[in-house]
Structure 1
Amino acid sequence: MGLALRMVRRMEAWFERMGAEYAYMATDKSNEASLRLFTVRCGYSKFRTPSLLVHPVHAHRRRVPRRAAVFRLGARDAERLYDGRFAHVEFFPADIGAVLGNQLSIGTFLAVIDDDGRWRHGEWRGAERFLASPPASWALASLWDCGGVFRLELRGASRLRRAAAAATRALDRAARWMRVPSVPDFFRPFSGWFVYGLGGDGPDAAVAAEALFATFVNMARGRAAAVAVEVAACDPLRRRIPHWRRLSCTEDLWCMKRLGRVGESDGWDWARSPPGLSIFVDPREV
């Protein structure tokens, strides 16, 4: 038995002692060695194929769709909305209140498509009223400051590439009206923000999600170099989320395995279930 296989076996044993029913791992589709280890030797099933979408932060502001009104929610209202509308989503944490109350959680925001102006000029009236009479289209998401735990750095870039990136930033700062797609200074340790708990409802929910993401990128100016979100392959909100392809990853692969001995199963295996429209990525695991 190789070292990697022994490590996986020991981790699975610890998971079971802690009361876990399932174990899952994330890798890249092109990582053949990892896939062979988990799917062939350890019995994991290919489970989900989410995409990590990343947008850099510029000196200029991104335009937020005018049809959208964005509200910042308090922790109690945020928890009530998540419990009321997202408890069925895959990987939704049972301790959502602890996630929202974590010091790294920047806040929760709601975007409403407001074609008649009712929401734009009104005030937030609480989660209960929202759940009782929701708007036709809306989206909800929260922000997490990954820089409070770790920082990233891009190495190996040539001096020419570094100079070109610096030139785009200088032009963006000097002439923000030009909206230059500048490249942040990824060549030194930088912070990133992660969007979690993204979801919504309605025919224009994707527009509301776009408004949220644009708002987050604008908020991150001077505080983070990039904003990222991980979405399910079938998520209808995905098509309107602004991102750079060169920074994003659409080759993620999650594999899952049900723990326990043969015969202990109740006949249903989440690891082999069909995918839902969305997933909840716990930011504590990023």
Structure 2
Amino acid sequence: MIRGCIKTITCGKKLSRNTKHSNTSNTGNSNRHLPVYAKVAYILGLRVSPSHRRMGIGLKLVHRMEAWFRDNGAEYSYMATENDNLASVKLFTDKCGYTKFRTPSILVNPVFAHRLTLSPKVKIIHLTPSQAETIYRRRFATTEFFPRDIDAVLNNKLSIGTFLAVPDSATWQGTDHFLSDPPKSWAILSIWNSKELFTLQVRGASRVKRTLAKTTRVVDKALPFLRLPSFPDFFRPFGFHFMYGIGGEGPEAVKMVKSLCDFAHNVAKERDCGAVVTEVSGQEPLRFGIPHWKMLSCPEDLWCIKRLGEDYSDGSVGDWTKSPPRISIFVDPREV
């Protein structure tokens, strides 16, 4: 079985003609540059029954899917897999002509039995989908993989909300005022309810490990004021929330992101989730504000890409498959 989709996303940026000769702008970098969009296909999943592997079925499925991509005008195709999944990597890079493209990090943080205390120096504002769309388009539209239909993402029933962190002394006077005169430091984050789609489960753990994990939860629940980290019950089916659209600016942006992640943890706790997950670029400076457990996270996921047609114009960014990694990427929660 194979699944795929096609969407229009940002693959680069170009200088706006209106500001090419201007050295200043009061509305941020996204006004000096415009996004360069491409119609890109994504292979959501490839599964072959163990009894039918090594028979060329996976290769045929990929070729059939790519034919559908081309028929519908896709310029590129990309997929994600674990870096150590050698069979998958070999299939796509050796047999299907894909190139290793990006290596983002998947960061996983467990949800504890106690609530996290939020910084009193940070104010968190719940944005409407319209307000969130305006900020994302004005500030992050040139981010690689930014979806052109961001409004559809934010208005999706699985999107719990978008939250903006600003200094406690700041006042919210609407998006126009925020964009024209933002505080020195701020951060933004959206939450996606992946729990409604599927659950995960860890199997094969020994009885000793299960007992130790349960003990940490019992202590955390009985003595929440100690704020001890506890290991959730991952040995039964559990759901998670996915944080996406993480961004920010200013010298305190990392701390703002930390406050937003703590807030997202508490939202996940209220909804009985086992973990909070996100995926960011390996070069993302804001990742230092994202709490996570190394034992649960993946430092290098692997995205591979392929150009589907040589007859396409190179456009403003040339052949995207040959472009160097950028600092940030936008991970679409619909692909999680």
TM-score range, shorter chain: over 0.9
Matched, 1:50 2:104: yes
Matched, 1:240 2:289: yes
Query: How high is the TM-score relative to the length of structure 1?
Result: 0.93
Query: How high is the TM-score relative to the length of structure 2?
Result: 0.80
Quick one: which amino acid aligns to residue 107 of structure 1?
G
Report the count of equivalent residues.
Answer: 279
Quick one: which amino acid aligns to residue 74 of structure 2?
A
Residue equivalent to 1:180: 228
Equivalent-residue separation in structure 1 for 2:228 and 2:314 (angstroms): 56
Matched, 1:118 2:169: yes
> Are 1:209 and 1:240, in contact at CA under 8 Å, matched by a contact in 2?
yes
Quick one: which amino acid aligns to residue 225 of structure 2?
W
Quick one: which amino acid aligns to residue 278 of structure 2?
V
Residue 147 of structure 1: CA displacement? Answer: 0.9
Equivalent position to 2:212, from 142, 149, 164: 164
Residue 263 of structure 1: CA displacement? Answer: 4.2
**Once structures 1 and 2 are overlaid, which stretch shifts more, 35-44 or 91-100?**
35-44
Residue 126 of structure 1: CA displacement? Answer: 1.2
Deviations 1:19-69, CA, capped at 9 Å, x for gaps: 211110111222222222212221111111100101111121223334322
Quick one: which amino acid aligns to residue 185 of structure 2?
S
Equivalent-residue separation in structure 1 for 2:300 and 2:239 (angstroms): 23
Residue equivalent to 1:16: 70
Q: Which has the higher contact order (CA 8 A, sep 6+)?
A: 1
Residue equivalent to 1:133: 181
Matched, 1:2 2:56: yes
Matched, 1:259 2:308: yes
Matched, 1:201 2:255: no
Residue equivalent to 1:96: 150
Quick one: which amino acid aligns to residue 234 of structure 2?
F
> Are 1:65 and 1:207, in contact at CA under 8 Å, matched by a contact in 2?
no
Q: Which has the higher strand share?
A: 2
> Are 1:64 and 1:210, in contact at CA under 8 Å, matched by a contact in 2?
no
Percent identity (aligned): 54
Equivalent position to 2:261, from 209, 213, 216: 213
SS of the residue 1:220 aligns to: helix
Structure 1 stretches of 5 or more lacking a match? none
List structure 1 segments (4+ residues) > 4 angstroms apart after TM superposition.
none
